[in-house]
Every structure is written in C-alpha cells, then in structure tokens.
Amino acid sequence: MKSPPPVVSIVVPVHNELENLPRLHAEVCQALDGRSSSFELILVDDGSTDGSVEVIKKLVSQDSRVKSVILRRNFGQTAAMQAGIDHAQGDVIVTLDGDLQNDPADIPMMLETIDQGYDLVHGWRKQRQDYFLSRRLPSRLANWLISRTTKFPIHDLGCTLKAIRREIAGELNLYGEMHRFIPILAHLRGARCCEVVTHHRPRIHGKTKYGLDRTFRVVLDLLTVWYMQRFLASPMKLFGGIGIVTFLVSLLCCGGCVFMKLFSDFDMTGNPLFLLSAISGLASIQFFSLGLLGEVGTRTYFHSAARTSYAVRETCGWDSPSRETLQFRVRANAA
C-alpha cells in the first residue's frame, strides 16, 4: 500500500560529506520527530568520490523517510538543489547544507514562520562561524551590493537554510549558480518572503567548496538577476532603449557633418563626427537586432518544454509512481 506523501521535504545537496551524513540524519530526525507532520529527507549526491554514496544508500535502507538522488557527476550545488526540489513531495521544501554548519534545530522555527502566511523563509547567519577575510568579508560586500542593486532587503543570500512552499519552488528554474538568489527569484514571482536569524556552526569534518573566486561569480550572477528582474519579459526595453540613444547620437553627428560640409566646406576625410555617426548608426542596428532576438528568446523561454540542468543516475527510497509524478510536475512547470 502506497504511503501518503510527506508534509515537509528536506533537500540536502551532498558533495564529499562522508563523515557528516550520519550526524546530519540524526539531527534532522531529532528536530522533526516531535512534530505531528511527516517529513522526508532527500539526500542529493553531487558526484561524491569519498564514499558518501554508500553511506546515503545505507541510510535509505535503515530509514524509510530517507530518499536519495544520485547524480552521474558533479553538476554543482544549484543543479543538485534543483534535482532535490524536482523530486520533493512535501507541501513545504526545506533546503539545507550537508556540512552541518546549518543547524537542523532551526527547521521547526522556520516551518512555524511559514505557517504565519509566508511563502518563503530564508536564514540569516548573524553570528557566522567562518574566517573573516576569506568568507565573511566577501559575503558582506556581496550581500550589500546585491541588496542595493535589486532593491531587495536581505542580509545573507548565501545561507542555504530556507523553507519554501512547494508551489513557489516548482516555479523556480535554477541553473548556473542561481541557488543563492532563490529569495529574489521567488520575490519576482510574487512570493511573500521573510528573513529570520538562524544558528551557524563551524565546520568539523570535510573541506569547504568555496573560496574568494565565488565573489566574482556572484557579481556575474547578479548581472543576470538584475536583467531578469527588469527586462526578462521585454528585452526590447533595454536593447531598444540603448538602440534609440545610439541612433540619436548618429543622427546628431550626421547633421553636424552635413552642416559643416554645406556652410564651411569642411573636409570630411577623417572627420571624427563622420566616424562617430557611422559607428553609432551600426551600433543602433545591432542593439535593435539584439532586442528582437531577445524577444524571440523570451517567447521561446516561456513556451518551450522544460529542461533540467542535471542528469540522474539512480534514485532510492521512492514508491514506483514517483517517476510519473515528477514528469507531470515538469510538464506543469513548462505550461
């Protein structure tokens, strides 16, 4: 007999966290066992090479609430998180790091905040237990820049611990390294978001997967989010606007050249205004073309079939109809 779906899904991307997994499982169970609502723990292995897969399968065999998604290779945290969200069956999805720096004891508090009417609750590691120069300082600068650019008030976008309603999570298409922008992407979909202070602990086992180079990737992703926030539905507003400006520059320079030729018999050979007029005219054509291509791409984006940024090798712990359920969910998201 098929068991009823859980109310809460805990999604944990895992990459070489062999020693942390048993304790992670124990702490999640301890945090949620006292609640009346059921839960599932989805461990998504993102190409681990340290034996994490074997530990995950052992946990699946020991606890029916543990599910696993084993990816074929290392696709990155965003793709692993998307895989877990796609397979989640709960009404509320909680994302959690596998390194034990997020405290599972904060999950009930976040679920209670969700019950107050919010669609997404994201954590704020106010007392962060990381090195200042390599982790905390770049994070503060990145969060300040993101908050100023997107006009979205937030202190800690890098905190993986989040609780989000399933219908909102199903509308998010995560790729690249967009997992850290989940609150902003959900806000763009009209979700009611709330930030709460959560505990943060020093890493005990394993090595961090992030360094200073993450700051540069965040800035590049920020440009993408800024574009999506303002011009995703109508790229012509951006590229067409720039095209109009460059066309006006070309027109003014051309008018200046004609005036100089007619009234002063000025030699046009090597005239800077003539060169600027030609370059600006070509640039305006290019920007208008980019706007048209962007509009076509937008229509394709909103009407194309859904594609995933990951490839699953195997799954464990689900009932057999889960594949059909996942395919239906993917088709619904595409529609």
- Predicted local confidence at residue 155, as pLDDT: 79
Taking CA atoms, 319 is separated from 65, 242, 312, 315, in Å, by: 12, 53, 17, 10
Per-residue pLDDT reduced to its tens digit, 110-119 = 999 999 999 9
- Predicted local confidence at residue 135, as pLDDT: 61
Q: Show the DSSP H helices in 151-271 as ranges.
A: 166-169, 182-188, 213-231, 236-264
Residues 6+ apart with CB under 8 A from 132: none
One digit per residue, the tens of pLDDT, for the chain of length 335 reads 456 678 899 999 999 888 999 999 999 999 998 776 789 999 999 999 988 999 999 999 999 999 999 999 998 888 899 999 999 999 999 999 888 888 999 999 999 999 999 999 998 888 776 655 656 666 677 767 777 777 777 778 778 899 999 989 988 878 777 788 888 888 888 889 999 998 888 777 656 655 555 666 667 777 777 777 777 777 888 888 999 999 999 999 888 888 887 777 666 666 788 888 889 999 999 999 988 888 777 667 655 655 555 667 777 776 654 444 454 444 444 44
Q: What are the CB-based long-range contacts (under 8 Å, 24+) for 140-144?
A: 141/215, 142/215, 142/218, 142/219
- Predicted local confidence at residue 160, as pLDDT: 87
Per-residue pLDDT reduced to its tens digit, 304-333 = 655 555 667 777 776 654 444 454 444 444
- Predicted local confidence at residue 331, as pLDDT: 43
What is d(CA 114, CA 112) in angstroms, rounded to the nearest whole number? 5
Per-residue pLDDT reduced to its tens digit, 63-74 = 999 999 999 999
Kindly report the pTM of this predicted structure. Answer: 0.70
- Predicted local confidence at residue 321, as pLDDT: 45
